[in-house]
Structure 1
Amino acid sequence: MPEFNVLSRTVLVTGATSGIGFETARLLAERGATVLVHGRTAEEAGAAVDALVATAGIDMARLCAFSADFSHLEEVETMAARVAAEHPHLDVLVNNAAVAAPEHHTITADGNELAFQVNFLAHYLLTSLLEQALTSEPGGRVVNVSSSLHRTASIQWSDPNRARRYSRLAAYAQSQLALTVFAADPRVTAVSIHPGICETGLLPLYAHQGATPAEGAAHIVRLCDPSVEIVNGAYYDRDQRVEPAPGSTEERTVKRLTKLADVLVHQNA
């Protein structure tokens, strides 16, 4: 794998304590980036930093641990405030954290369906709160780790929590479609990517076997490289730019999703 030019870059990777997120953090740090390692709890984030130092020989000075449980939007706000205060310039935000939708319909304390909140709304809120840090200098970008399953989805605009008709696969796919649509939001330059079917906790949603998390992470790291030109709203299947689901980059759809997300994260309050 080529040595990408990420030296001196500051990158926040959500869901960086295991799987593709951990490998993304490792590859970026090995190439000289300062990596903000996000975990659900402070203990999990700290353990991931310790593992990167112990197993990959990463310089501790290049790693910073951050924590927020994405099923609690208040924690996302608190983490965003800390990131902005400590790193007023952020080169890349990798929105990677994700959960499989549970078997039974589950609503968070914020009133949102669990997968929709953790996989999309929390990232929407985090990105919005870090907009100034990402745009303080030219070249800031967001990489949304989406899924090929977004092609099977539809956003239930009148019932995004799927209270009337819940299916775990449909709920998960909806969250990935929303994340893909969000990449076309004009406020911050962003792309979305399906990193391939990998051996992670989400594998049962796709297949019985897959590529290694490191292989998936390599495709994400490539999009973090400032020498790789990106177009806002572009969608990648591993290392190939392809068309996302029909209509997902239409301005009307992007605006409609923004309006819905603002309501659901209480940004309009």
Structure 2
Amino acid sequence: MNNRIAVVTGANSGLGRVTAATLAGQGVHVVMAVRNVAAGRAVAGQISGSTEVRELDLASQASVREFAAKLTTDHPRLDLLINNAGAVLLGPRRTSVDGFELQLATNMLGHFALTGLLLPALSEAPAARVVSLSSITHKPATINFDDVMYERNYSGSTAYGRSKLATTIFGVELDRRLKAADSPVISVLAHPGMTRTNLTPRAWEHLGRRGRILAWVGLLATQSVEQGTQPQLTAATAPGVKGGQFFGPRGPFEMFGNVTEVRPSSEAADPSVGRRLWSEAETLTGVRYLPYRD
């Protein structure tokens, strides 16, 4: 992994922090793309290896464009993009600065735009990879194209599942389009199962003391961050990985355990859904790349 450059979003905590530290320890230069630069620098100071911290707010399309422009000026070749950052908001509906439902904006739309803007730099590498972080919550979810921003009958938990389904659809459709374009870049997916990260207590904070109790009960049924990071590290670094592969835990209901190859939901794998969501994302973000080829 020496002389390679990786971008890890949300690299200052949880899965992103462990991923960044692991890659840096393997000789990769890691660009830590974080919303809180001070927190990112504090974490970077504890990592043994080559890192740099850059500001990125995935919920702001302006921030995504600014980050991508500056990064590709300084690093015209990138080897790895790990779309790791995520938001879990189980309280009332919130919107981004662009007016998008906040979980969809952060988890999928920001990464969709970021990937498109960084694709020219990734295409300069001989074997670049884009890793998109899914979740087991994508499996029961479904996309409502008549209410993509979930303005009616909002549920935070359902919105989170929908955002992770959208992320999974994006990763699968990205694989189709990269292959159709004969691109050297591959798209791979991963999910961590049930893992103890700081997102769990944050998700319930709107409920006060009751929420803190629910969060800690939930944490008892989860695996460590180090274990949960293994699927995305496998997707990012294992030799022989092919575009379209999806890695997750081997245990019951894919909640925990050693890494294995898993399958996306039928909706996530549906090409017609992939094309429709891609078109929707292009319209919303204004970032267009890899046009559909029949």
Corresponding residue number in structure 2 for 1:21: 16
Q: How does 1:118-133 map to 2 (within 5 A)?
A: 118-133=106-121
Corresponding residue number in structure 1 for 2:248: 237
Corresponding residue number in structure 2 for 1:79: 67
Q: TM-score scaled by structure 2? A: 0.82
- How far apart are the structure 1 equivalents of 2:115 and 2:188? 13
The partner residue of 1:43 within 38, 46, 52 is 38
- How far apart are the structure 2 equivalents of 1:155 and 1:178? 7
1:199 alignment partner AA: R
CA offsets, 1:99-131, max 9 Å, x none? Answer: 112411111120100000001100001001001
Over the matched positions of the two proteins, sequence identity in percent amounts to 30
8 Å contact from structure 2 (residues 65, 114) kept in 1: yes
Q: Secondary structure of the residue that 2:240 maps to in structure 1?
A: coil
Corresponding residue number in structure 2 for 1:109: 97
Corresponding residue number in structure 2 for 1:141: 129
CA offsets, 1:201-230, max 9 Å, x none? Answer: 233679332111111223221221262322
8 Å contact from structure 1 (residues 27, 218) kept in 2: no
Deviation, 1:37, is: 0.8
Q: Secondary structure of the residue that 1:183 maps to in structure 2?
A: helix
- How far apart are the structure 2 equivalents of 1:137 and 1:13? 17
Moved over 4 A (4+): none
- How far apart are the structure 2 equivalents of 1:98 and 1:247? 21
Gaps of 5+ in 2: 179-184, 204-214, 250-258, 289-294
Q: Secondary structure of the residue that 1:16 maps to in structure 2?
A: coil
Q: Secondary structure of the residue that 1:136 maps to in structure 2?
A: coil
Gaps of 5+ in 1: 1-5, 53-57
Corresponding residue number in structure 1 for 2:223: 211
Q: Secondary structure of the residue that 1:163 maps to in structure 2?
A: coil
Corresponding residue number in structure 1 for 2:182: none
Between Structure 1 and Structure 2, which shows a larger proportion of helix residues?
2
8 Å contact from structure 1 (residues 222, 228) kept in 2: no
Task: Give the RMSD, CA atoms, in angstroms.
Answer: 1.7
Q: Secondary structure of the residue that 2:261 maps to in structure 1?
A: strand
- How far apart are the structure 1 equivalents of 2:237 and 2:246? 16
Q: How does 1:172-187 map to 2 (within 5 A)?
A: 172-184=160-172, 185=174, 186-187=177-178
